[in-house]
């Protein structure tokens, strides 16, 4: 048999290149099709929508087309867990569950380590079973993702979604957390929600829940009453999206409490309202739709404390913006038995 000629080799290589290119193209098309299905739930049944809410002082209108035009990813995103915690709230317990849901970032491993050594521990305190859970979005940093995966295997206290961490995507963290609680943790009697730069005193937290009448009927925290809308800076919102000059009342993100009853109502509201690009304001609209009132208390120290004294940590549920070193120092002081300066006679 004669060896193949140069034109035959060229045609053979061209066919191989064409098959490779076609295979790659098909893979890309399939991926884009899957990705589009993830973002655009075209087959999902139409959900009821809320076009306006009032708190008795202001009327808040929702132009869904504006939300979709300015923040389409917030409206179209489907909650997809990368690290799931489906069994976290299972198992028998003599005490009601108090979930400590802590917003964190993949890069903040040192903060999470400090909180695990201090107040974010599984424990029974004041008649409640405390369970920490760190809420994370994704990152493009592969090393950080690997460290988070290792943390999850060791501690089992991380819940992570596939949206990218960003300021506006914190609202997705609120919406996806409500969906997760609805699907996997309806046994939680209460949820304390806060950031990973908080000091929390579990004893004061559980004492507060026990002594507050009808605690399950409210969202508890440091309540911002009709806060002024900012048109510049990090928290800027355009008039196209939000023409009013004041927001509804909301609990500052520096630490607040929701109940099992309230979480169910907030989840139902999240199915009807568009996602606002500021997480605390988004939760304010959900609370308004769910008809959940707020309860203000100064034991939620969202602006820090005037003087960094131990007594403030002894009397507060949460203090925002505390350094990790100070959290560990204060925790050791609070956990140490009181010194007895009396001398025996």
Could you write out the DSSP letters of every residue in 317-341?
SEEES--HHHHHHHHHHHHSPPP--
Mean pLDDT value across residues 60-82: 97
Report CA dihedral (176, 181, 183, 186) to the nearest 10 degrees. Answer: -170
Tell me, what's the pLDDT at 91?
79
Question: How far apart, in whole angstroms, are the C-alpha atoms of residue 282 and residue 69?
Answer: 17
Say if strands 250-259 and 294-296 run parallel, antiparallel, or are unpaired.
unpaired
How far is it, in rounded angstroms, from Cα 212 to Cα 126?
Answer: 14
Domain boundaries, the chain: 60-335
CA distances from 112 to 27, 49, 314 (A): 39, 38, 22
Instruction: Between 130 and 22, name the one with better pLDDT.
Output: 130
Q: Are strands 123-125 and 81-83 parallel, antiparallel or unpaired?
A: unpaired
Q: What is residue 46's three-state secondary structure?
A: coil
Q: Which two three-digit tokens encode residue 59? A: 């009327």
- pLDDT per position as a tens digit, 168-220: 999 999 999 999 999 999 999 999 999 999 999 999 999 999 999 999 999 99
Task: For the domain covering 60-335, report its CATH number.
Answer: 3.90.550
pLDDT tens digits, 94-123: 899 999 999 999 999 999 999 999 999 999
Which residues are paired to 100 by β-bridges? 132, 192
Q: For 271-330, what is each residue's pLDDT tens digit?
A: 999 999 999 999 999 999 999 999 999 999 999 999 999 999 999 999 999 999 999 999
User: At 128, phi and psi to the nearest 5?
Assistant: -120, 150
Closest among 204, 193, 90, 219 to 134, alpha carbons compared: 193
């Amino acid at each position: 048999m004669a060896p193949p000629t140069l034109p035959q080799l060229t045609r053979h290589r061209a066919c191989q290149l064409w098959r490779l290119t076609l295979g790659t193209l098909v893979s890309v098309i399939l991926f884009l099709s899957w990705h589009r299905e993830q973002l655009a739930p075209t087959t999902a049944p139409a959900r009821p929508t809320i076009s306006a809410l009032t708190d008795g002082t202001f009327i808040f209108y929702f132009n869904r087309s504006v939300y979709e035009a300015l923040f389409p990813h917030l409206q179209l995103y489907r909650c997809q867990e990368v690290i799931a915690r489906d069994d976290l709230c299972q198992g028998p317990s003599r005490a009601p569950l108090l979930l400590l849901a802590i917003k964190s970032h993949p890069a903040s491993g040192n903060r999470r380590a400090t909180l695990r050594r201090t107040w974010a521990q599984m424990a029974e305190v004041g008649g409640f079973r405390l369970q920490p859970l760190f809420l994370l979005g994704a990152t493009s940093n592969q090393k950080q993702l690997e460290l988070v995966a290792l943390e999850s295997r060791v501690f089992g206290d991380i819940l992570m979604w596939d949206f990218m961490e960003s300021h506006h995507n914190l609202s997705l963290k609120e919406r996806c957390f409500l969906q997760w609680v609805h699907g996997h943790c309806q046994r939680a009697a209460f949820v304390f929600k806060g950031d990973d730069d908080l000091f929390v005193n579990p004893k004061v937290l559980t004492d507060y829940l026990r002594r507050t009448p009808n605690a399950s009927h409210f969202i508890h925290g440091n309540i911002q009453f009709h806060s002024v809308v900012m048109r510049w800076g990090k928290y800027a919102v355009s008039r196209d999206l939000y023409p009013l000059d004041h927001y509804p009342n909301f609990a500052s993100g520096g630490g607040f409490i929701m109940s099992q009853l309230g979480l169910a109502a907030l989840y139902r509201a999240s199915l009807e309202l568009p996602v606002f690009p500021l997480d605390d304001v988004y939760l304010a609209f959900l609370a308004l739709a769910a008809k959940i009132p707020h309860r203000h208390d100064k034991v939620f120290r969202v602006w820090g404390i005037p003087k960094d004294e131990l007594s403030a940590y002894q009397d507060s549920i949460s203090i925002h913006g505390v350094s990790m070193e100070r959290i560990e120092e204060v925790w050791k002081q609070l956990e140490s038995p009181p010194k007895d300066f009396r001398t025996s006679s």
